[in-house]
Structure 1
Amino acid sequence: MSTHRSQRNSGDHGSGRTSVRKSSNPLYRSSDRAQSWFGFLLIIGLVVGLPAAAISVGTTTLHTGMETVQTQNAERHPVKARLVSDAKPAPDPAGSGSPVRMPVRWTDKDGTRHQGVAQVAPGTKAGTIVNTWADRGGSITEPPMTSKQAVATAWLAGAVTGGATLTVFLLARAGFVYMLDRRRYAQWEAEWQLLEPRWSRRSQG
Protein backbone atom coordinates (compact mmCIF):
# COMPACT_ATOMS: atom_id res chain seq x y z
CA MET A 1 0.00 0.00 0.00
CA SER A 2 2.78 2.32 0.86
CA THR A 3 4.39 1.42 -2.43
CA HIS A 4 1.23 2.38 -4.32
CA ARG A 5 0.99 5.69 -2.48
CA SER A 6 4.64 6.40 -3.20
CA GLN A 7 4.22 5.76 -6.92
CA ARG A 8 1.09 7.88 -7.06
CA ASN A 9 2.73 10.75 -5.28
CA SER A 10 5.76 10.44 -7.50
CA GLY A 11 3.57 10.48 -10.56
CA ASP A 12 1.66 13.52 -9.36
CA HIS A 13 4.89 15.33 -8.69
CA GLY A 14 6.25 14.52 -12.14
CA SER A 15 3.01 15.63 -13.78
CA GLY A 16 3.20 18.89 -11.89
CA ARG A 17 6.75 19.52 -13.05
CA THR A 18 5.75 18.89 -16.67
CA SER A 19 2.80 21.27 -16.37
CA VAL A 20 4.97 23.98 -14.88
CA ARG A 21 7.53 23.53 -17.61
CA LYS A 22 4.94 23.91 -20.35
CA SER A 23 3.38 26.99 -18.79
CA SER A 24 6.49 28.47 -17.19
CA ASN A 25 5.85 31.81 -18.94
CA PRO A 26 2.37 31.86 -20.51
CA LEU A 27 2.57 35.62 -21.09
CA TYR A 28 5.63 35.36 -23.34
CA ARG A 29 4.37 36.53 -26.73
CA SER A 30 5.80 36.49 -30.22
CA SER A 31 6.44 40.24 -29.93
CA ASP A 32 8.49 39.61 -26.77
CA ARG A 33 10.50 37.01 -28.65
CA ALA A 34 11.04 39.46 -31.52
CA GLN A 35 12.16 42.14 -29.07
CA SER A 36 14.63 39.76 -27.44
CA TRP A 37 16.11 38.70 -30.77
CA PHE A 38 16.32 42.27 -31.99
CA GLY A 39 18.11 43.30 -28.80
CA PHE A 40 20.52 40.38 -29.19
CA LEU A 41 21.29 41.38 -32.78
CA LEU A 42 21.83 44.98 -31.69
CA ILE A 43 24.34 43.86 -29.07
CA ILE A 44 26.22 41.84 -31.69
CA GLY A 45 26.13 44.83 -34.01
CA LEU A 46 27.48 47.10 -31.29
CA VAL A 47 30.28 44.71 -30.36
CA VAL A 48 31.35 44.40 -33.99
CA GLY A 49 30.24 47.64 -35.64
CA LEU A 50 31.06 50.27 -33.03
CA PRO A 51 34.81 49.52 -32.76
CA ALA A 52 35.07 49.02 -36.52
CA ALA A 53 33.44 52.40 -37.26
CA ALA A 54 35.47 54.25 -34.63
CA ILE A 55 38.79 52.71 -35.74
CA SER A 56 38.05 53.28 -39.43
CA VAL A 57 37.18 56.96 -38.99
CA GLY A 58 40.03 57.51 -36.54
CA THR A 59 42.57 55.91 -38.87
CA THR A 60 41.34 57.88 -41.88
CA THR A 61 41.40 61.13 -39.91
CA LEU A 62 44.92 60.41 -38.66
CA HIS A 63 46.14 59.69 -42.19
CA THR A 64 44.60 62.94 -43.46
CA GLY A 65 45.97 64.88 -40.50
CA MET A 66 49.53 63.61 -41.00
CA GLU A 67 49.34 64.61 -44.66
CA THR A 68 48.24 68.08 -43.56
CA VAL A 69 51.17 68.25 -41.14
CA GLN A 70 53.63 67.45 -43.92
CA THR A 71 52.02 69.87 -46.38
CA GLN A 72 51.84 72.79 -43.96
CA ASN A 73 55.39 72.28 -42.73
CA ALA A 74 56.58 72.35 -46.33
CA GLU A 75 54.58 75.48 -47.22
CA ARG A 76 55.10 77.52 -44.02
CA HIS A 77 58.24 78.74 -42.37
CA PRO A 78 58.99 80.68 -39.18
CA VAL A 79 59.98 84.35 -39.46
CA LYS A 80 61.26 86.94 -37.03
CA ALA A 81 59.28 90.10 -37.69
CA ARG A 82 59.73 93.51 -36.11
CA LEU A 83 56.78 95.34 -34.57
CA VAL A 84 56.14 98.61 -36.42
CA SER A 85 54.35 100.50 -33.60
CA ASP A 86 53.47 100.11 -29.94
CA ALA A 87 50.75 97.55 -29.28
CA LYS A 88 48.07 99.45 -27.39
CA PRO A 89 45.60 97.32 -25.43
CA ALA A 90 42.26 96.89 -27.17
CA PRO A 91 39.10 97.87 -25.26
CA ASP A 92 38.42 94.88 -23.02
CA PRO A 93 35.90 95.31 -20.18
CA ALA A 94 36.92 91.95 -18.73
CA GLY A 95 40.56 93.00 -18.58
CA SER A 96 41.78 89.64 -19.90
CA GLY A 97 44.67 91.16 -21.85
CA SER A 98 43.82 89.40 -25.11
CA PRO A 99 46.41 89.59 -27.92
CA VAL A 100 46.02 92.42 -30.43
CA ARG A 101 46.76 92.43 -34.15
CA MET A 102 49.52 94.87 -35.09
CA PRO A 103 51.58 95.56 -38.25
CA VAL A 104 55.01 93.91 -38.47
CA ARG A 105 57.85 93.88 -41.01
CA TRP A 106 60.48 91.31 -41.87
CA THR A 107 63.00 90.46 -44.58
CA ASP A 108 63.36 87.06 -46.22
CA LYS A 109 66.69 85.32 -46.75
CA ASP A 110 66.71 86.52 -50.36
CA GLY A 111 66.36 90.12 -49.18
CA THR A 112 62.68 90.56 -50.01
CA ARG A 113 60.89 92.82 -47.55
CA HIS A 114 57.43 91.94 -46.32
CA GLN A 115 54.81 93.55 -44.15
CA GLY A 116 51.84 91.92 -42.46
CA VAL A 117 49.75 91.78 -39.34
CA ALA A 118 50.57 89.54 -36.39
CA GLN A 119 49.12 88.99 -32.95
CA VAL A 120 51.17 90.41 -30.08
CA ALA A 121 50.63 90.96 -26.39
CA PRO A 122 49.17 94.35 -25.38
CA GLY A 123 51.84 96.82 -24.37
CA THR A 124 54.56 95.41 -26.62
CA LYS A 125 56.88 98.21 -27.74
CA ALA A 126 57.70 99.13 -31.33
CA GLY A 127 60.82 97.41 -32.61
CA THR A 128 60.23 94.23 -30.60
CA ILE A 129 61.01 91.02 -32.46
CA VAL A 130 57.88 88.91 -32.95
CA ASN A 131 58.11 85.20 -33.78
CA THR A 132 55.44 84.29 -36.32
CA TRP A 133 54.85 82.16 -39.40
CA ALA A 134 54.59 83.02 -43.10
CA ASP A 135 53.56 81.10 -46.19
CA ARG A 136 55.40 80.88 -49.48
CA GLY A 137 53.75 84.07 -50.70
CA GLY A 138 55.09 86.02 -47.74
CA SER A 139 51.79 86.39 -45.91
CA ILE A 140 51.42 85.94 -42.16
CA THR A 141 49.66 82.67 -41.38
CA GLU A 142 48.92 80.28 -38.54
CA PRO A 143 51.57 77.81 -37.32
CA PRO A 144 51.46 74.44 -39.09
CA MET A 145 49.58 71.59 -37.52
CA THR A 146 51.70 69.36 -35.30
CA SER A 147 51.74 65.59 -35.12
CA LYS A 148 50.25 65.72 -31.62
CA GLN A 149 47.35 67.81 -32.91
CA ALA A 150 46.76 65.32 -35.74
CA VAL A 151 46.70 62.40 -33.28
CA ALA A 152 44.37 64.26 -30.91
CA THR A 153 42.01 65.08 -33.80
CA ALA A 154 41.99 61.42 -34.86
CA TRP A 155 41.14 60.27 -31.33
CA LEU A 156 38.35 62.84 -31.13
CA ALA A 157 36.93 61.78 -34.49
CA GLY A 158 36.97 58.13 -33.42
CA ALA A 159 35.26 58.92 -30.11
CA VAL A 160 32.57 61.03 -31.80
CA THR A 161 31.97 58.27 -34.35
CA GLY A 162 31.65 55.69 -31.59
CA GLY A 163 29.17 57.88 -29.72
CA ALA A 164 27.17 58.52 -32.87
CA THR A 165 27.08 54.80 -33.68
CA LEU A 166 25.88 53.98 -30.18
CA THR A 167 23.17 56.65 -30.46
CA VAL A 168 21.94 55.20 -33.76
CA PHE A 169 21.71 51.71 -32.26
CA LEU A 170 19.84 52.97 -29.21
CA LEU A 171 17.42 54.94 -31.37
CA ALA A 172 16.86 51.87 -33.53
CA ARG A 173 16.05 49.79 -30.45
CA ALA A 174 13.72 52.48 -29.08
CA GLY A 175 11.93 52.72 -32.43
CA PHE A 176 11.51 48.96 -32.68
CA VAL A 177 10.17 48.68 -29.12
CA TYR A 178 7.78 51.58 -29.79
CA MET A 179 6.45 49.80 -32.87
CA LEU A 180 5.97 46.57 -30.89
CA ASP A 181 4.25 48.44 -28.05
CA ARG A 182 1.75 49.99 -30.44
CA ARG A 183 0.99 46.53 -31.79
CA ARG A 184 0.61 45.15 -28.26
CA TYR A 185 -1.73 47.94 -27.24
CA ALA A 186 -3.84 47.32 -30.32
CA GLN A 187 -4.03 43.62 -29.50
CA TRP A 188 -4.93 44.33 -25.89
CA GLU A 189 -7.67 46.71 -27.00
CA ALA A 190 -9.10 44.16 -29.40
CA GLU A 191 -9.07 41.44 -26.74
CA TRP A 192 -10.67 43.76 -24.22
CA GLN A 193 -13.48 44.53 -26.65
CA LEU A 194 -14.23 40.80 -26.70
CA LEU A 195 -13.88 40.12 -22.97
CA GLU A 196 -15.44 43.25 -21.51
CA PRO A 197 -19.05 42.34 -22.43
CA ARG A 198 -18.66 38.92 -20.76
CA TRP A 199 -17.26 40.46 -17.58
CA SER A 200 -20.00 43.04 -17.56
CA ARG A 201 -22.70 40.34 -17.71
CA ARG A 202 -20.98 38.45 -14.88
CA SER A 203 -20.84 41.52 -12.66
CA GLN A 204 -24.48 42.26 -13.36
CA GLY A 205 -25.45 38.68 -12.55
Structure 2
Amino acid sequence: MAAFRGPKVWLWRWRRNPLRRRSDALEAWVVLVAWAVTVLGGVFTGLAATQAVEHGLAQERAEWRSVAARLTEDARDEGATESGGDLVWAKVRWTAADGSSRAGQARVFAGTVAGTSVTVWTDPDGRLVTRPATASQARLRASLVGVLVGVSAAGVPFVCGRLLRGRLERRRMEQWDQEWERIGPLWGRKTS
Protein backbone atom coordinates (compact mmCIF):
# COMPACT_ATOMS: atom_id res chain seq x y z
CA MET A 1 0.00 0.00 0.00
CA ALA A 2 1.36 3.41 -0.96
CA ALA A 3 1.97 6.01 1.70
CA PHE A 4 -0.40 8.96 1.78
CA ARG A 5 1.38 11.99 0.43
CA GLY A 6 -1.41 14.51 0.73
CA PRO A 7 -3.12 16.47 -2.02
CA LYS A 8 -1.09 17.23 -5.12
CA VAL A 9 -0.06 20.86 -5.20
CA TRP A 10 0.59 22.16 -8.69
CA LEU A 11 3.62 24.34 -9.27
CA TRP A 12 4.78 23.92 -5.67
CA ARG A 13 8.36 24.73 -6.60
CA TRP A 14 7.30 28.14 -7.89
CA ARG A 15 5.24 29.22 -4.84
CA ARG A 16 6.60 31.16 -1.92
CA ASN A 17 7.16 28.80 0.95
CA PRO A 18 9.57 28.95 3.90
CA LEU A 19 10.45 25.27 3.32
CA ARG A 20 11.37 25.77 -0.33
CA ARG A 21 15.11 25.58 -0.87
CA ARG A 22 17.14 27.25 -3.60
CA SER A 23 17.74 23.81 -5.09
CA ASP A 24 13.96 23.36 -5.47
CA ALA A 25 13.70 26.57 -7.48
CA LEU A 26 16.76 25.61 -9.53
CA GLU A 27 15.26 22.20 -10.23
CA ALA A 28 12.01 23.85 -11.35
CA TRP A 29 13.92 25.97 -13.85
CA VAL A 30 15.90 22.94 -15.07
CA VAL A 31 12.68 21.00 -15.66
CA LEU A 32 11.02 23.92 -17.44
CA VAL A 33 13.98 24.63 -19.74
CA ALA A 34 14.63 20.94 -20.44
CA TRP A 35 11.03 20.30 -21.43
CA ALA A 36 10.79 23.45 -23.54
CA VAL A 37 13.99 22.65 -25.43
CA THR A 38 12.97 19.00 -25.75
CA VAL A 39 9.57 19.75 -27.25
CA LEU A 40 10.46 22.76 -29.37
CA GLY A 41 13.84 21.39 -30.47
CA GLY A 42 12.34 18.04 -31.41
CA VAL A 43 9.47 19.57 -33.37
CA PHE A 44 11.55 22.14 -35.25
CA THR A 45 14.37 19.72 -35.99
CA GLY A 46 11.91 17.09 -37.22
CA LEU A 47 10.13 19.59 -39.45
CA ALA A 48 13.42 20.85 -40.88
CA ALA A 49 14.55 17.29 -41.63
CA THR A 50 11.20 16.49 -43.25
CA GLN A 51 11.42 19.54 -45.49
CA ALA A 52 15.04 18.81 -46.44
CA VAL A 53 14.28 15.21 -47.40
CA GLU A 54 11.16 16.20 -49.36
CA HIS A 55 13.10 18.90 -51.20
CA GLY A 56 15.92 16.48 -52.05
CA LEU A 57 13.54 13.83 -53.36
CA ALA A 58 11.59 16.42 -55.38
CA GLN A 59 14.86 17.60 -56.91
CA GLU A 60 15.71 14.00 -57.85
CA ARG A 61 12.29 13.60 -59.51
CA ALA A 62 12.89 16.79 -61.49
CA GLU A 63 16.48 16.00 -62.59
CA TRP A 64 16.56 12.24 -63.10
CA ARG A 65 15.38 10.98 -66.47
CA SER A 66 14.36 7.60 -67.81
CA VAL A 67 16.47 6.42 -70.74
CA ALA A 68 16.03 3.48 -73.11
CA ALA A 69 18.95 1.06 -72.83
CA ARG A 70 19.81 -2.24 -74.51
CA LEU A 71 20.83 -5.42 -72.73
CA THR A 72 24.34 -6.43 -73.83
CA GLU A 73 24.16 -9.94 -72.33
CA ASP A 74 21.49 -12.44 -71.41
CA ALA A 75 20.09 -11.93 -67.93
CA ARG A 76 20.65 -15.26 -66.21
CA ASP A 77 20.34 -16.22 -62.60
CA GLU A 78 21.71 -19.56 -61.50
CA GLY A 79 19.33 -19.68 -58.53
CA ALA A 80 16.29 -18.36 -60.40
CA THR A 81 12.95 -20.09 -60.14
CA GLU A 82 11.05 -21.32 -63.18
CA SER A 83 8.69 -18.34 -63.08
CA GLY A 84 11.36 -15.95 -64.35
CA GLY A 85 9.96 -13.14 -62.17
CA ASP A 86 13.20 -12.56 -60.23
CA LEU A 87 15.24 -9.43 -60.86
CA VAL A 88 18.93 -9.91 -61.59
CA TRP A 89 21.84 -7.64 -62.44
CA ALA A 90 22.77 -7.48 -66.15
CA LYS A 91 24.99 -5.28 -68.33
CA VAL A 92 23.26 -2.55 -70.31
CA ARG A 93 24.36 0.17 -72.73
CA TRP A 94 22.65 3.54 -73.30
CA THR A 95 23.31 6.94 -74.83
CA ALA A 96 23.68 9.82 -72.36
CA ALA A 97 22.15 13.27 -72.90
CA ASP A 98 25.51 14.58 -74.19
CA GLY A 99 25.55 11.89 -76.92
CA SER A 100 28.24 9.69 -75.36
CA SER A 101 27.77 5.95 -75.12
CA ARG A 102 27.63 4.61 -71.55
CA ALA A 103 27.59 1.13 -70.05
CA GLY A 104 26.67 -0.20 -66.63
CA GLN A 105 24.58 -2.72 -64.75
CA ALA A 106 20.86 -2.53 -64.15
CA ARG A 107 18.26 -4.77 -62.56
CA VAL A 108 16.21 -6.67 -65.15
CA PHE A 109 13.96 -9.72 -65.09
CA ALA A 110 15.78 -13.05 -65.14
CA GLY A 111 15.64 -14.69 -68.55
CA THR A 112 15.65 -11.46 -70.57
CA VAL A 113 17.75 -11.95 -73.71
CA ALA A 114 20.55 -9.72 -75.02
CA GLY A 115 19.38 -6.86 -77.25
CA THR A 116 16.12 -6.34 -75.37
CA SER A 117 15.24 -2.69 -74.66
CA VAL A 118 14.95 -1.85 -70.96
CA THR A 119 14.32 1.42 -69.14
CA VAL A 120 17.05 2.79 -66.85
CA TRP A 121 17.22 6.04 -64.88
CA THR A 122 20.14 8.48 -65.13
CA ASP A 123 21.17 11.65 -63.35
CA PRO A 124 22.13 14.87 -65.21
CA ASP A 125 25.71 13.55 -65.60
CA GLY A 126 24.50 10.39 -67.31
CA ARG A 127 25.26 8.01 -64.41
CA LEU A 128 22.86 5.20 -63.55
CA VAL A 129 20.62 5.86 -60.56
CA THR A 130 17.62 4.15 -59.02
CA ARG A 131 14.10 5.08 -60.01
CA PRO A 132 13.16 8.30 -58.14
CA ALA A 133 10.55 8.13 -55.41
CA THR A 134 7.02 9.12 -56.29
CA ALA A 135 5.44 12.09 -54.51
CA SER A 136 3.59 9.82 -52.05
CA GLN A 137 6.70 7.73 -51.40
CA ALA A 138 8.69 10.92 -50.85
CA ARG A 139 6.14 12.18 -48.31
CA LEU A 140 6.27 8.89 -46.43
CA ARG A 141 10.09 8.78 -46.42
CA ALA A 142 10.33 12.42 -45.39
CA SER A 143 7.81 11.90 -42.58
CA LEU A 144 9.63 8.86 -41.23
CA VAL A 145 13.00 10.62 -41.36
CA GLY A 146 11.48 13.72 -39.73
CA VAL A 147 10.02 11.70 -36.87
CA LEU A 148 13.29 9.82 -36.33
CA VAL A 149 15.40 12.99 -36.39
CA GLY A 150 12.92 14.89 -34.20
CA VAL A 151 12.82 12.17 -31.55
CA SER A 152 16.61 11.84 -31.63
CA ALA A 153 17.08 15.60 -31.30
CA ALA A 154 14.53 15.75 -28.47
CA GLY A 155 16.35 13.00 -26.61
CA VAL A 156 19.49 15.07 -26.09
CA PRO A 157 18.05 17.88 -23.92
CA PHE A 158 15.74 15.39 -22.18
CA VAL A 159 18.66 13.19 -21.12
CA CYS A 160 20.75 16.23 -20.15
CA GLY A 161 17.89 17.53 -17.99
CA ARG A 162 17.51 14.15 -16.31
CA LEU A 163 21.24 13.98 -15.60
CA LEU A 164 21.23 17.50 -14.14
CA ARG A 165 18.21 16.69 -11.96
CA GLY A 166 19.96 13.54 -10.75
CA ARG A 167 23.02 15.58 -9.80
CA LEU A 168 20.84 18.08 -7.93
CA GLU A 169 19.11 15.21 -6.12
CA ARG A 170 22.45 13.67 -5.05
CA ARG A 171 23.64 17.05 -3.79
CA ARG A 172 20.40 17.53 -1.85
CA MET A 173 20.76 14.09 -0.25
CA GLU A 174 24.36 14.88 0.76
CA GLN A 175 23.18 18.12 2.39
CA TRP A 176 20.45 16.24 4.26
CA ASP A 177 23.03 13.70 5.48
CA GLN A 178 25.22 16.51 6.79
CA GLU A 179 22.28 18.14 8.56
CA TRP A 180 21.19 14.82 10.06
CA GLU A 181 24.70 14.16 11.40
CA ARG A 182 24.52 17.53 13.14
CA ILE A 183 20.88 17.33 14.37
CA GLY A 184 20.41 13.55 14.80
CA PRO A 185 22.30 13.22 18.12
CA LEU A 186 20.06 15.94 19.63
CA TRP A 187 16.89 13.85 19.12
CA GLY A 188 17.43 11.74 22.22
CA ARG A 189 17.95 14.65 24.64
CA LYS A 190 15.27 15.84 26.97
CA THR A 191 14.51 19.52 26.78
CA SER A 192 13.09 19.98 30.27
With structure 2 as the length reference, what TM-score do the two structures score?
Answer: 0.64
Deviates more, 1:161-170 or 1:130-139: 130-139
2:57 and 2:74 mapped to 1: Cα distance?
38
1:70-99 CA-partner distances (Å, limit 9, x unpaired): 2x33xx3321x333333221458xxxx853
1:164 and 1:187 mapped to 2: Cα distance?
35
1:36 and 1:86 mapped to 2: Cα distance?
71
Q: Tell me if 1:35 matches 2:23.
A: no
Q: Which amino acid aligns with 2:176?
A: W
- Counting aligned pairs with the same residue, the percent is 33
Deviates more, 1:37-46 or 1:108-117: 108-117
Q: Which amino acid aligns with 1:100?
A: V
- Which residue in 2 is equivalent to 1:130? 118
2:162 and 2:74 mapped to 1: Cα distance?
62
- Which residue in 2 is equivalent to 1:116? 104
Q: Which amino acid aligns with 1:130?
A: V
2:66 and 2:134 mapped to 1: Cα distance?
13
Q: Which residues of 2 match residues 17-96 of structure 1 at below 5 A?
A: 28-70=20-62, 72-73=63-64, 76-79=65-68, 81-91=69-79
Q: Which amino acid aligns with 1:86?
A: D
1:51 and 1:30 mapped to 2: Cα distance?
32
1:25-73 CA-partner distances (Å, limit 9, x unpaired): 8764332333233323334444544333332333344334333332x33
Q: Tell me if 1:198 matches 2:186.
A: yes
Q: How far does residue 186 in structure 1 lie from its aligned partner after superposition?
A: 1.2
Which structure has more relative contact order (CA 8 Å, sep 6+)? It is 2
Structure 1 or 2, whichever has the larger Rg, is 1
Contact 1:69 1:150 (8 Å CA) reproduced: no
2:172 to 164, 175, 184: 184
CA RMSD of aligned residues (A): 3.6
- Which residue in 2 is equivalent to 1:156? 144
- Which residue in 2 is equivalent to 1:173? 161
Q: How far does residue 171 in structure 1 lie from its aligned partner after superposition?
A: 0.8
1:120-177 CA-partner distances (Å, limit 9, x unpaired): 2333334443222345665543334544444334323321232023212321220121
Q: Which amino acid aligns with 1:171?
A: V
Q: Which runs of 5+ in 2 are unaligned?
A: 1-16
1:64 and 1:114 mapped to 2: Cα distance?
26
1:183 and 1:110 mapped to 2: Cα distance?
70
Q: Which runs of 5+ in 1 are unaligned?
A: 1-24
Contact 1:103 1:115 (8 Å CA) reproduced: yes
Q: Which amino acid aligns with 2:67?
A: P
- Secondary structure of residue in 2 paired with 1:87: coil
Q: How far does residue 105 in structure 1 lie from its aligned partner after superposition?
A: 4.1
1:109 and 1:177 mapped to 2: Cα distance?
61
